[in-house]
Amino acid sequence: MSEPAITARDLTRRFGSFTAVNAITFEVEQGEVFGFLGANGAGKTTAMRMLIGVLQPTSGSATVAGFDIKTQPEQVRRRIGYMSQKFSLYEDLTVRENITLYGGIYGVSNQDIATRTGEILTRIGLEHVGNELVREIPLGWKQQLAFSVALLHRPGVVFLDEPTSGVDPITRRRFWELIYETAAQGTTVLITTHYLDEAEYCRRISIMVDGAIAAMGTPTEVRQAVGAATLDDVFLKLTRPGAAA
Amino acid sequence: MRAFLGFVRKETLHLLRDRQTLAILILFPVVQVLIFGFAVRTDVEDIAIAIVDPTPDIATNQLRERVATSDRFHLVEVVPGTQGLELEFRRGTIRQALVLPRDVERKLGRGDSLPVQLLTDGSDPNTGGIMQGYATAILQRWYRDAVPAGGPLRIEAETRLRYNPTLESAYLFVPGLIAFVLTIMSALMTAISITREKETGTMEMLLVSPIRPRAIVAGKVIPYIVLGFIGVVLVLVAARTVFGVPLQGSLLLLLAESGLYILTALALGIVISTRAPNQRAAMIAALAGLMMPTLLLSGFIFPLDSLPWPLQWLSSVVPARWFLTIVRGVMLKGAGLATLWQETLILIGMTMFLLAVGSRKLAIRLD
Amino acid sequence: MRTTFFLVRKEFLQIFRDRTTVFQIFMIPVIQLLILANAATFDVKRVRMLVVDEDRTTVSTGLVERLEGGRQFRVVRYEPSDVGVDYALLDRQVTAVLHIPRRFEEDLVRRGRAPVQLVLNSEEGATAGIVQSYATAILDSYARELDRTLPTVRAGSSTVRRVAPLDLRTRRWYNPTRNYKHWMVPALMVSLTTIIGLLLTAQNIVRENELGTLEQLNVTPMTKLQFIAGKLIPFWLLALVIFSLGLLIGRLVFGIPMRGSLLLVYLAAAVYLIVVLGLGLWISTITRTQQQAMFVAFFMILIFLLMSGLFTPVESMPKWAQLVAEANPVKHFVGIMRAVLVRGAGIETVGRPIVGLAVAGIGVLALAVLRYRKSVA
């Protein structure tokens, strides 16, 4: 079995006296679609930010794409893609300009940038708005564009932070098709979300409560382990222990 | 009414929480006063001067003594000839040179005319003139004393300087500083505050609330009025305690006029915020757009009387210009409302005009 | 490197797409230079004067005529006595008062000396000095004229020995026409370019942080040096363009002298701008909001401008302040500009300040690069 794409061992992050991420340990296989669930403030975004290298852990360790996040951050960065909650595209640049920019930064050759730009535009259906400012295109397209940009340099692992927030169900569906396509090609996807139905789309999930992983496994395994019929109930049970199922 | 007060409270808390900005807002006026008072001067001292003395004798020795011991001059060198002078001027190591003729003592004894050359670095016409004046004065005095009897006719001017007899820099700049600081800070704060609200989208939320748009603007502005007053008081305290800048007139009048001017500047900020599409544009418009004109057209540093007449017209549109006259009047001259009513009226007019324009545009923008 | 190139390209695209910003970047300095160059002058014309002539002789009238004759004074009121003088000064009706006492002519004839009183409104400080020098110059030249024409009787001496007055020839180098613009325009240019450059860079990084795009960049393999370079280069180029525009305007519109080497000026400008823009970027890395960044930048700009010799001479500052001013890049560049353009100085004069600026530039950039963190500790 090949090396895991992501490993974390006792990964911890404290802000002063507040522990946001409490010694989490897990592994993600290559090509897996792994869902990070939890309520707002449970620590999933903080955990992700440590894995992508923009936040340093207080203690513990982690590797991404085989490289240690603390000692080899630059190697990690070359091999990952990231899509933030805000999509983080430059609103005052056009679609094409955004793609070119990130392609260039990641060292994609000019020729490849040109080819892949065409591919992306066609796949999302943005051929006619290639030269429009990102500010002007609808939210759903922005989201798919941000995802494509994250994959532009063919990273081995891609991190998605609440990518479907605020997007209509049809676009969400289309988005998940994109995710599956990507995973099928061998890219590992780590996605945080608070939509519980999306949890079913993942191969494995973990549920974070107050900074620690309260449950982890395939959706079925988690339901069985917690003793609840639906993931909704799992959630309730974990976050409010007193609430009856 | 309660909603309005709650809104004011929110704005105040917002302001208080931003420690960095608050520190700057409070430090800023004080530091400016200190710098201006201590460091910025218009008088000229320590002028680097060289004397060219081909035949040194008793008379020229007297002159050399006087120059060397004068506070105003710093005698760099005494040389026999003029070679190398030009290079030194160019390098800036000397700024003036006195070129004496040969056999000064003898010429003086015989009553011959004494041709003396005074070379001055005139790049800066202002200091050039001042330096020339000082050197001329020293030369004339020396000449009178060196000449055996009588001496030429002279008309001696006894000069008295009113309102600022010692030409203290602090006296000159502090009133202007108050005007300048208030202008920039008030306009800037307001412009930022309103555009930030627009940018983050909370403006829409406010509009849905029962507070009327004008009240929103008013509410935003009130904490800054208070802040402006604090700034004025701080500057005044620093000016009086550290530099002894006088307050010949009524403190109450000064505070009242300052209050009026704060409103003017805030109104200016409102107008800027209506025309700026985002925070950055607002800030640049307020800072880059206001700084130099306020410094140069208000009479702060360069005298109003020196402005060519088209700019005199332009300066009358700059609110700081009127406020500066008022502050100088009250602080240095002890002037009262009787003398200052015109300027005050103009400020009131400007404020009302700006408020009208600003709030109308704002209302349109928001709707 | 390639990454830096893409970052620079992005920055340019963003700047030029925003019409308001482009307008502000170019128009504010240009318009202000055109207008304000005329404002920065201490030249006082037509000073309003009140004359109290208690002597009312030919000699005293002659003096008043002399004063009125030049373009420097304008006698707006004559009074027989001092009454009302105070109010006239207070109300700003006049800026100067000349009081000629009763025995003016008699004193000149008998004793060869006569006093007059000059009262000047010094609320504007700088004016007083200049007015005083104008007035004394006129008094001096009138005295010389009288010397030739007025018969004198010196008490106690039988022969009147007339001594020639001092034959003083004054020459003003570099700016004989006393054109304030020659002195101020180079400095104004520097100031205006600096203001806009510093403000733009100061809020740049903070803005990206506020918008969220900074995080996306931090996830990429882009290095801190590439990032800072990618921010510095576009604004540096822009600032040089603005600077050149300023020079062009200075030359064509105001006729400022260019006695020294333009190449030297540009070398100095290139180095100077690195320091200034680098400072802006550094500010951007130490502040959390655009508002804070602007305030800090403004604070810095004002201190720099005031202690740069732009408005008031550096030589007039107390020694300790001059020492502090050595750390002020604006002071050095303004000095270089004036030295090269107005005095025609060469590398022997400006070499050291340029090297100093270069060192400062490297230091500031290092500060910014070190301060910028791709990941939060």
Contact C221 A91 (CB under 8 A): no
> Which candidate from A77, A91, A93 shows the least CB-CB separation from C220?
A77
Residue B32 has pLDDT above 70, yes or no: yes
Residue type, C6: F
Q: What is the pLDDT of residue C157?
A: 47
Between residues B138 and C123, which one has the greater pLDDT?
B138
Q: What is the C-alpha to C-alpha distance for residues C264 and C337, in angstroms, rounded to an integer?
A: 9
Residue B164 has pLDDT above 70, yes or no: no
Between residues A167 and A152, which one has the greater pLDDT?
A152
Contact B32 C316 (CB under 8 A): no
Q: Could you report the average pLDDT of every consecutive run of 10 residues in chain C (377 residues)? A: 93 92 91 89 83 89 87 85 84 87 86 86 74 83 79 51 70 85 91 94 91 90 94 96 95 92 95 97 91 87 89 85 93 94 91 95 95 86
Contact C213 A78 (CB under 8 A): no
Q: Residue window 57-116, chain A: list those with CB within 8 Å of chain C.
A: 73-74, 77-78, 80, 82, 84, 86, 88-93, 97, 100-102, 104-107
Query: In chain B, what residues touch C175 (CB-CB under 8 Å)?
Result: 122-125, 128
Q: Which pLDDT tens digit goes with each residue over A104-141? A: 999 999 999 999 999 999 988 888 888 999 989 988 88
Tokens found for residue C167: 């034959």
Q: What are residue A36's phi and psi, to 5 degrees? A: -105, 105
Q: What is the C-alpha to C-alpha distance for residues B43 and C127, in angstroms, rounded to an integer?
A: 11
Q: Return the top range by mean pLDDT from A176-190, B264-278, C29-43.
A: A176-190
Contact C14 A82 (CB under 8 A): no
Residue B80 has pLDDT above 70, yes or no: yes
Q: Looking at chain C, which subunits does it touch, using at least 3 CB pairs closer than 8 Å as the criterion?
A: A, B
Contact A90 C10 (CB under 8 A): yes
Number of A:C CB contacts under 8 A?
76
Mean pLDDT, residues B311-334: 89
For residue C358, the Cα-to-chain-centroid distance in whole angstroms is 24
pLDDT class for A59, splitting at 50, 70, 90?
A: very high
Mean pLDDT, residues A149-178: 90
Contact C174 B123 (CB under 8 A): yes
- Chain A residue at shortest CA distance from C374: A54
ipTM of predicted assembly, 2 dp:
0.88
Tokens found for residue A65: 């794409």
- Chain C residue at shortest CA distance from B289: C28
Contact A82 C217 (CB under 8 A): no
Query: In chain C, what residues touch A84 (CB-CB under 8 Å)?
Result: 212, 215-216
CA-closest candidate to residue C312, choices C196, C206, C183, C198: C183
Q: What is the pLDDT of residue A231?
A: 81
> Which candidate from B126, B163, B292 shows the least CB-CB separation from C42?
B126
**β-strand partners of B73:** B47
Beta strands in chain A (DSSP E): 6-15, 18-28, 33-38, 59-64, 67-68, 80-83, 157-161, 188-193, 204-209, 212-217
Residue A242 has pLDDT above 60, yes or no: no
Residue B167 has pLDDT above 70, yes or no: no
B41: distance to nearest CA of chain C, Å? 6
pLDDT class for B241, splitting at 50, 70, 90?
A: confident
First to last CA, chain B: 22
Between residues A73 and B305, which one has the greater pLDDT?
A73
Q: What is the pLDDT of residue B77?
A: 92
Q: Which pLDDT tens digit goes with each residue over B288-299? A: 888 888 888 988
- Chain A residue at shortest CA distance from C12: A93
Q: Identify whether the C-beta of residue C317 lies closer than 8 Å to the C-beta of residue B35.
A: no
C272: distance to nearest CA of chain A, Å? 29
Between residues C360 and B37, which one has the greater pLDDT?
C360
Residue type, C229: A
Residue A50 has pLDDT above 90, yes or no: yes
> Which candidate from C44, C139, C343 shows the least CB-CB separation from B123?
C343
Q: Is C373 on the interface with A (CB under 8 A)?
A: no
CA-closest candidate to residue A125, choices A104, A103, A142: A142
pLDDT class for B169, splitting at 50, 70, 90?
A: low
Q: Looking at chain B, which subunits does it touch, using at least 3 CB pairs closer than 8 Å as the criterion?
A: C
User: Which helix or strand (DSSP H or E) is residue B76 part of?
Assistant: strand B73-79
Q: What is the C-alpha to C-alpha distance for residues B362 and C14, in angstroms, rounded to an integer?
A: 27
Q: Give the DSSP letter of residue B116.
A: E
> Which candidate from C122, C166, C306 shows the least CB-CB separation from B162?
C122
Q: Looking at chain A, which subunits does it touch, using at least 3 CB pairs closer than 8 Å as the criterion?
A: C
Q: Is B119 on the interface with C (CB under 8 A)?
A: yes
For residue A47, the Cα-to-chain-centroid distance in whole angstroms is 11
Q: What is the pLDDT of residue B165?
A: 65
Q: What is the C-alpha to C-alpha distance for residues B366 and B76, in angstroms, rounded to an integer?
A: 67
> Which candidate from C161, C174, C321 shows the least CB-CB separation from B149?
C161
Q: What is the C-alpha to C-alpha distance for residues A177 and C75, in angstroms, rounded to an integer?
A: 90
> Which candidate from C13, C221, C377 shows the least CB-CB separation from A97?
C13
Look up the pTM and report it: 0.88
Q: Which pLDDT tens digit goes with each residue over A62-118? A: 999 999 999 999 899 999 999 988 878 999 999 999 999 999 999 999 999 999 999
Tokens found for residue B291: 């700084």
A17: distance to nearest CA of chain C, Å? 15
CA-closest candidate to residue B328, choices B161, B169, B173: B173
C2: distance to nearest CA of chain B, Å? 29
Q: Return the top range by mean pLDDT from A190-194, B123-127, B294-298, C250-254.
A: C250-254
* Percent residues over pLDDT 70 in chain A: 98
Q: What is the pLDDT of residue B33?
A: 80
Alpha helix stretches (DSSP H) within chain C: 2-17, 19-36, 58-69, 85-90, 104-111, 126-149, 180-211, 213-219, 224-252, 262-286, 290-306, 319-325, 329-343, 347-371
Give the CA count within 13 Å in the CB-facing half-sphere of B37.
22
A53: distance to nearest CA of chain C, Å? 6
CA dist list (Å): A230 to A39, A220, B362: 16, 9, 52
Q: Identify whether the C-beta of residue A212 lies closer than 8 Å to the C-beta of residue A23.
A: yes
